[in-house]
Structure 1
Amino acid sequence: MAGVEQTMWVEVLGEVKARAGEQEITLGPPRQRAVLAILALRANQTVSRAELIDGVWGDAPPASVEGSVHTYIHGLRRALSVSDQAVLTRTGAGYQLVLGQRELDLNVVETRLAEARSLARAGKGSASADLISECLAQWRGIPLSGLPGPFAESERVRLTELRYQLVEERAELMLAAGRHRELVTELGEAVEAEPFREGLRAQLMLALYRSGRRADALAEFEAVRRLFADELGLDPGAALTELHLRMLRSESGLESPAETPPQARPQVPAQLPHEAPDFVGRATELEQLAAWCAATRASGKALVISAIDGAGGIGKTTLAVRFARMVAGSYPDGQLYLDLRGFDPNRAPLSANDALGQLLWALGSTRQRSEPDELVSMYRTVLSDKRVLILLDNAVSTEQVRDLLPGTSNSLVLVTSRNRLSGLVARDGARRLTLGLLTESEALDLLRNTVGTQRIDDDPAAAAELVRLCGYLPLALRVAAEKISGRPDTSLRELVENLHAAQDRLDNLHVDDDEMTSVRSVISWSYTSLDHELARTFRLLGLVRAPNIGAFAAASLIDRPVAETEGLLRTLSEQHLLEPESDRYGFHDLIKVYAGEMAYSEEPPEVRREAIRELMVWYLTGMRAALVRLIKDYPLPPLAIPGTTHPLPDFTTRESTWKWYEEETKNVAALIEHAGEIGEHEIAWQLTWCTYNSFYSTGLMSEWIQILTIALASTEQLADPGPKARILMFLGIGNSRIGRNEIAVEYLERGLSVARGIDNDHLRSSMLANLASTLREMKRYEEGITYAREAVELVKPESPYYQKAGSIDALCELYVESGQPEQALRYAELGLEAARACDAALLEANMMVNVAHAYRDMADMTTAMREYEAALELCVRQGDRYHEALALLGIAELRRRMDQYEDARKHAHRALDIFLELGGEESDVTLAFLASLDTGATS
């Protein structure tokens, strides 16, 4: 409004916002707002471009970062220009945001806080408290909420800590002024948010006491004592303990935040395994881990890495999970867990690339970059603005772990390994914690927790001998405890004598420094007491190389009804011979070794082979049934062996079917090598064929290529050339996906040579289309078009719609990229019709975007816009974020060609937000496009 001064106001104590007078300013995408936050918190100072890059992108800025800074500064200058003052200026060394003392909420806090402390020194405590209340009112949520980058994360921590310091300072003043009743609710909320701040708890205790709530206070102190013992293995500090004693002399109490359940956090990974219910001891180790975390935060360092090493069965994972659950609340962006399989007796360790793929998938990234360095960069970028707890279990080496460490991040990484991982300490600043055996006292406590105090304390000598025989190893103690619990009428002394005898029988199996030595005899002691069915089930499960197994699969292995199998698995779990994992069961790896030993020593070879073969057939039948349920018109290869006679899970919904398929792919991958070893070559390649959709969607290409190589060896043993052609095609797809296009072409050309001799148009068409797409990636357009046209020519009216759509999509994309839009449009209508007929929404969206590109390149802007908008509508309806972003970027390009720069910028920013969210490599293209808009608009 004319004549009204448009003064500036900027907020950082919550979501970053700005106003000019009464007018809200649109500040743009998250990184643009992150740039503003840095400039605002360093108002009236020059901030260099390098400092902005470090603060927003951290250690892994993209190649186009200079252009991005220019784009964001330009966007901010335009947004802030509604003010009457030139608030964002360029200096020779960088940029400066000019703000008055009362134009930033944090400045207002600092000014009023100085006044409040002056009043307190003058003896005016109540007035000082009121002024601090005004300071606290400036916080409107989490400071710098939603902003990426290391600067925003460190400032979030600092400003949140400042807020709680002010809460404590104000409470002290109000308690001294006799205003305790006003404090109870506020302190309760503060303690709920920060449950381990003992200063706040002491103030709440005193406020409750002074408000006449003595009973509540006594009850609440007992609750906080339990919280500290359970979560930290500690007692409350001296101040709280002393205050409790005064409560007993008619003073104060505590309300426990532990009784208030945490708020649900949608779409945040929560992958930590369940916690051992009988956890004992390790108080020193837990204290040390907590101290390292606290010291790192206090020093301003971003990343805590703790490497926990020790022997197998000693409790590394149990300790790590215990500590992770204690501190999980401090990592609001989620908890990741990954078994790196460093010491799995049946599977190779997880490669760093495949581990990165799984972690990125858990963090919500739905597109994968191809090269290892790009995967690392994407992973660190995703984590740069998050506080995530990452537990990497069973690492085999430093090299396996190093690429899994975040860059600049306020995350916590816990690594467990049987090796010492010295390189992680020397080069990456990890803190090593070597876990020893339990003390005798801790070992006895574990037995008391599981067996009962009286039985252990009635014969202390026998109990001491028992824990010695178990080697003070937690795993062995848990197995022994279950054995004792199952014989309530037998004396502890008799049980110890039986264990002595069991160890004598197994002496010939002992090897120096073999970590099985201390646990094998205890497992044997438990195993020999199993009835026939349980022992048989235990042995046959030892044959399975898969990481876990469900009741339906286990029923096929042991050839028993599902209900009976569920009971057997439950019983073995109750005796600590199996570990429950949701609706599945797995072995501790040491127990798995023992179960395998028993299978090979007590089961005839033909029994072992038949059992494991039936399991493989069950999985193959199940995977094929799931694919038929999931994908209409899916081209399953013919099955040359009879299917299973055992029941499959009920695939009632697409969601439950996909969940089963994705989880079981991990088990199938472990069975493929075994199938090849025992000569079940038909099963080996067919199982591999069934894994395509899971591996391709999650991007775990290195692991997939490993099992494809195994499957290829199996196809060499078969007379039918079809399996070999199919596996060669998948090897081409897998290698192309990770950027090995030359190798991919070799596999695809070999596969095509085999496929040309087979009467299967669909197989040849698929091979040709994939070869054409790989050549397109290599910019070899003419060759690609030749192959894609041949793929399309193989399509007949009776061909499956999926085949038609895939072939035509490959050809359309090649014609568009090679500058032949008219040719693309000739085929597009048939391709879209086929895609819609088989519900292939991704193919439909991709073709719609390419149709719009074609009209754009023919300068038919009206039709192109209509096609982009139609594609956009489909993508939003289907939840297809990737193609939605491509359509938005297409619209932005159209607007630029029409000199409509503001609209072009708006659509490009929307596309950029999606590409950044998905980790798409197109984000760099979009940033370059935005930078070019500024050049075009000013030229």
Structure 2
Amino acid sequence: MRFAVLGPVRSWCGPDEVDLGPPKQRAVLAVLLLGEGAQVPVDALVDAVWGTGSPGSAVSSLRTYVHRLRRLLGPLAILSVRDGYQMHTSPESLDLAAFRDLVARGDRARRDNDAKTAARYLNDALAHWQGTALAGIRGEYAQAQRKRLDRLRLSALEASLAVRLELGEHADAARELAALVAEHPLDERFREMLMLALYRSGRQAEALVTYKEARAVLADELGVDPGPELRHMFERILRADAGLIAPPTPAPAPDQPTPAQLPAELPAFVGRAAQLAQLDLLLPGNGEVPTTIVVSAIAGMAGVGKSTFAVHWAHHVSSRFPDGQLYIDLRGFDPAGLPVSPDRALRTLLESLGADPQSLPQDADALVACYRTRLAGRRVLLLLDNASDAQQVRPLLPASPGCLVIVTSRNRLSGLIATDGACPVHLDVLSVAEARDFLVRRLGADRVAAEPTAVDEIIELCARLPLALSIAAARALTCSGFPLASLAGELADGQNRLDAFNMPDTATDVRAVFSWSYHALTPAAARLFRLIALHPGPDTSLAAAASLAGLTVAHTHQLLTELTHAHLVDEPVPGRYAAHDLLRTYAGELARASDTPEEHHTARVRVLDHYLHSAHRAGRAYSPDRPAIVLSAPSRGVRVEEFAPEPGHSGPAAAWFDAERAVLMAAIRTAAAHGLDTHTWQLAWAVGHYLDRKGLWHDLEATQNIAMEAAERLGDPRAQAHVHQGLARAATDLGRVEEARNRMERAVELFTAAGDVTACAESIRVLSRAAERQGDLEAALSHAQQALALHRAAGHSARTAAALNAVGWCHTLLGQHQQALDHCQEALTIKELPDRPYLKADVWDSIGLAQHHLGRYTEAVASYEQALVLFREVGVAYAEADTLSRLGDTHHVVGRVASAREAWAEALVILERLGHTDAEVVRAKLTGLTENRPCN
């Protein structure tokens, strides 16, 4: 649904406009939309639509109009909230919200001295106006809102014209300003800007005449002289002040470190002169070329040096992209895992560009739009490594003409070339001369010159493939006393075939190179190398590798060091290890040939046990109050990570989840693929709360769907109930509240059948929240009361306190404030509550709201301040902002305007930092203070 108020009040469902009915019904919708997400009390709605002399039937008529609007717009479009109604809006759904968002973006660009970007945003904002705001809506309220909105429009118009003057568009701006002065003859802002535009256009006399006209109009209409700003402009023009000449537009000031993510360039890069020249021709002298470059290998060959080539050229041209260089490995051909999804890649790139991950949209199209908006006006280089296909890459292509994308892939990505104008660059194996030059750089000219025949044999047996030559050179450097002829002989003895390659002759020789690197390992290191093929990928920590092998951490570190020196694994960042996908394939073949299926199963269970038990413990530290599932003991030899509680979600457990997120997703898929169904659903449970708190709801839903299949195969109703809970969380946050409620009801049924009273009670308490989100407040209260009864019967004190708070909250929403207060104050008496600072803060916040509605404002302020101390202690920023917003409401009701402004301003700072949509609600309250109108 889309709505418009900056013109006639209108609505669309997709491309089709909705008939909104009679004028008063439209007026009801307009008032709710102007609330911009805030709750609008019934009394305020009646006054806005009917005026102060409303008939006695107004409330009944209002409910009828709301009912009709829900039928037109959908049952969840208008929510019943406490003693009023609420419509959630966003820049995607409401033109006013989009206008505000674009103006804010323009203001930020102006502060960053980026006038071009500011002008674009402000022009886009003004384009949302389609005539007089609220056209067709009558009454004093509508007229007052029209005046308010027109002030916002004029402010944006003033900012837009100021930016255009900064950009040197003096003549065009002068024409527009002359029309504005005629329309608003008493507005000195536009007179002053018109004088400046005329002066900069070489029309000094007309600028002075404009001042004289202003002085006459102000004297006739108001009996006053021009203000000091206008007089000062007049005096500066009279003396031809040099400062009036437009200065050059300054460069944008970065508000964060410029990303520089390119991998380190290899010092031994050789050859590729023709391809490098081809790429250089694509960038003319100023670098302004919108293009995508696809670096692919002939016949899909791996190990041909695509990434090395791309990194080398990216470093060569990086200076042309001052706004940053981004890099991401899309893992399109990882033998052990799935490629990185476009959604995940977009989130990673947006975070690299400074976006708050919790503020990012969930809708895929909105995510692409956010990404392209971030890149608009910037000159950024993006290296997308190891892409699987065009579908994976296309959403990652920026729209900004100053950006360059380099894509590497084993595929030619013909779709990008045909549809998106990508420029293909194909790499083959090195020439003989380039291969010899490569070995000279790695081994030294003297050693290569001493055995030319052996060098030729090595080049031929490595099939001139850079990866194979690199490993051969590493072997020669490690065995510096060996003649190169002996190494060539070892290579010639390779008998087996690496089937992952498409070219048989090349595959045989490359496998031989891998084989003598492998055979030079100690037996323990060789075993660890084989086991790496069983790891979910894409990389592994030291503790996970130790668990995989069933060894101590210290011993495993020694073995990984040996593998790193042999160039069979890399350590891209300290403490994390990864192997090239060809080497993982080779390791898998060795494992199948050397180890039994039972050994594979045991190792796989060990590493999955590591991730399951580590994630379980990290989750307990990350969310200490979450009721935990019971796990079987980990297998012998598993090294489990340990974490201290961290209710602020910023300590080692949170960092561990951040580092292991991709591995945990892969571990869930690996467990499911190998029939380890208990590991599958329990891993999904263990990582679920982290994904929920991070706003990664699509990932949460995907993992829970895999978990549900596993739980159904197990026939375990308790497991299914836990998965329904996880799916309900995802559905709630993705806006599918009806589905969430159904899933939670199913969880309650299953927990009841399994006899798990605690889990059942918690599910019912969460079900209360789902019902509240639907506006079904009576059902929400009933569920909360049921959860309270179950927790009391079970003797769970802390959960009883949470349920008491839920009951109290529902009573407040229903207007039963004394009952709310009684329940919440009882929660304060629970002896375990001091050990639950977040829950205690939540209770104090609920108490404050009840006291506010009972008119006990001094007590409400004290309760809110108690909650704030605790929320700050545990570091839950959104909850702190939510309480600050309510504290401001209480201050405002009793006339403490300065205190209200301070609380709301502090809340707004937090919400803007989080990128939360509630920021607009609080901003509207602050605007209401300025405009002297009600703010609750």
Alignment of 1:536-685 (within 5 A): 536-582=527-573, 583-649=575-641, 651=643, 655-685=651-681
What's 1:51 paired with? 123
Query: 2:754 aligned with 1:754, yes or no?
Result: no
Alignment of 1:704-853 (within 5 A): 704-718=700-714, 721-796=717-792, 803-804=799-800, 807=803, 810-811=806-807, 814-815=810-811, 821-829=817-825, 837=833, 851-853=847-849
Q: For the Cα contact (< 8 Å) 1:313–1:474, is it kept in 2?
A: yes
Letter in 2 for 1:600: R
Distance 1:36 1:324, change over 3 A: closer
Match of 1:496 among 480, 488, 503: 488
Secondary structure in structure 2 of the residue aligned to 1:691: helix
What's 2:269 paired with? 279
| Deviation digits for residues 49-97 of structure 1 (CA, Å, limit 9, x no counterpart) | 962538999xxxxxx9x9999638549979x99xxxxx99795599986
Q: For the Cα contact (< 8 Å) 2:357–2:694, is it kept in 1?
A: no
Mapped to 2, the partners of 1:842 and 1:389 lie a distance apart of 43
Letter in 2 for 1:569: L
| Deviation digits for residues 96-124 of structure 1 (CA, Å, limit 9, x no counterpart) | 866689989x989xx9xxxxxxxxxxxxx
Mapped to 1, the partners of 2:863 and 2:401 lie a distance apart of 42
Secondary structure in structure 2 of the residue aligned to 1:886: helix
| Deviation digits for residues 171-196 of structure 1 (CA, Å, limit 9, x no counterpart) | xxxxxxxxxxxxxxxxxxxxxxxxxx
Distance 1:733 1:336, change over 3 A: farther
Q: For the Cα contact (< 8 Å) 2:768–2:783, is it kept in 1?
A: yes
Match of 2:304 among 301, 306, 314: 314
Q: For the Cα contact (< 8 Å) 1:573–1:580, is it kept in 2?
A: yes
Secondary structure in structure 1 of the residue aligned to 2:333: coil
Distance 1:783 1:369, change over 3 A: farther
Alignment of 1:913-924 (within 5 A): 914-924=910-920
Mapped to 1, the partners of 2:431 and 2:264 lie a distance apart of 24
Alignment of 1:327-366 (within 5 A): 336-361=326-351, 363-366=355-358
Mapped to 1, the partners of 2:500 and 2:110 lie a distance apart of 65
Alignment of 1:81-480 (within 5 A): 91=179, 143-145=251-253, 272-282=262-272, 298=288, 305-310=292-297, 311-324=301-314, 336-361=326-351, 363-382=355-374, 390-406=382-398, 413-425=405-417, 427-428=419-420, 430-480=422-472
Mapped to 1, the partners of 2:365 and 2:750 lie a distance apart of 35
Distance 1:708 1:514, change over 3 A: farther
Secondary structure in structure 2 of the residue aligned to 1:779: coil
Secondary structure in structure 2 of the residue aligned to 1:392: strand
Tell me how many residue pairs correspond in the alignment: 750
Q: For the Cα contact (< 8 Å) 1:855–1:861, is it kept in 2?
A: yes
Which 10-residue stretch deviates more, 776-785 or 47-56?
A: 47-56
What's 2:497 paired with? 506
Secondary structure in structure 2 of the residue aligned to 1:547: coil
Which 10-residue stretch deviates more, 613-622 or 891-900?
A: 891-900
Letter in 2 for 1:728: H
Mapped to 1, the partners of 2:412 and 2:313 lie a distance apart of 20
Q: For the Cα contact (< 8 Å) 1:473–1:518, is it kept in 2?
A: no
What's 1:183 paired with? none
Letter in 1 for 2:600: R
Distance 1:142 1:784, change over 3 A: farther
Letter in 2 for 1:415: V
Mapped to 2, the partners of 1:414 and 1:33 lie a distance apart of 30
Distance 1:542 1:52, change over 3 A: closer
Q: For the Cα contact (< 8 Å) 1:345–1:589, is it kept in 2?
A: yes
Q: For the Cα contact (< 8 Å) 2:808–2:820, is it kept in 1?
A: yes
Secondary structure in structure 2 of the residue aligned to 1:636: coil
TM-superposed deviation, 1:290: 6.4
Q: For the Cα contact (< 8 Å) 2:531–2:548, is it kept in 1?
A: yes
TM-superposed deviation, 1:600: 1.2
TM-superposed deviation, 1:603: 1.0
TM-superposed deviation, 1:763: 0.8
Mapped to 2, the partners of 1:903 and 1:749 lie a distance apart of 43
Letter in 1 for 2:339: P
Secondary structure in structure 2 of the residue aligned to 1:543: coil
Secondary structure in structure 2 of the residue aligned to 1:394: strand
TM-superposed deviation, 1:692: 1.9
Secondary structure in structure 2 of the residue aligned to 1:756: helix
**Gapped runs of 5+ residues in structure 2?**
1-102, 130-144, 163-173, 205-241
Which 10-residue stretch deviates more, 492-501 or 514-523?
A: 514-523
Distance 1:918 1:607, change over 3 A: same
Distance 1:748 1:879, change over 3 A: closer
Q: For the Cα contact (< 8 Å) 1:835–1:844, is it kept in 2?
A: no
What's 1:32 paired with? 107
Q: For the Cα contact (< 8 Å) 1:304–1:412, is it kept in 2?
A: yes
Aligned residues with identical type, % of pairs: 30
Q: For the Cα contact (< 8 Å) 2:126–2:157, is it kept in 1?
A: no
What's 2:50 paired with? none
Mapped to 2, the partners of 1:876 and 1:385 lie a distance apart of 38
After TM superposition, the score normalised by the length of structure 1 is 0.68
Letter in 1 for 2:524: E
Match of 2:691 among 687, 690, 695: 695
Secondary structure in structure 2 of the residue aligned to 1:420: coil
TM-superposed deviation, 1:756: 0.8
Mapped to 2, the partners of 1:287 and 1:645 lie a distance apart of 54
Mapped to 2, the partners of 1:609 and 1:321 lie a distance apart of 39
Q: For the Cα contact (< 8 Å) 1:875–1:881, is it kept in 2?
A: yes
Distance 1:365 1:615, change over 3 A: closer
Letter in 1 for 2:565: E
Which 10-residue stretch deviates more, 566-575 or 732-741?
A: 732-741
Distance 1:622 1:743, change over 3 A: same
Letter in 2 for 1:51: N
Distance 1:714 1:869, change over 3 A: same
Mapped to 1, the partners of 2:624 and 2:387 lie a distance apart of 41
Q: For the Cα contact (< 8 Å) 1:712–1:724, is it kept in 2?
A: yes
Secondary structure in structure 1 of the residue aligned to 2:754: coil
Distance 1:657 1:819, change over 3 A: same
Mapped to 1, the partners of 2:455 and 2:767 lie a distance apart of 69
Q: For the Cα contact (< 8 Å) 2:761–2:786, is it kept in 1?
A: yes
Mapped to 1, the partners of 2:762 and 2:667 lie a distance apart of 27
Mapped to 1, the partners of 2:192 and 2:350 lie a distance apart of 40
What's 1:71 paired with? 152
Which 10-residue stretch deviates more, 847-856 or 87-96?
A: 87-96
TM-superposed deviation, 1:397: 2.7
| Deviation digits for residues 763-804 of structure 1 (CA, Å, limit 9, x no counterpart) | 112222333323333333333332233223222397556634
Secondary structure in structure 2 of the residue aligned to 1:795: helix
Mapped to 2, the partners of 1:409 and 1:889 lie a distance apart of 42
Distance 1:42 1:477, change over 3 A: closer
TM-superposed deviation, 1:492: 2.3
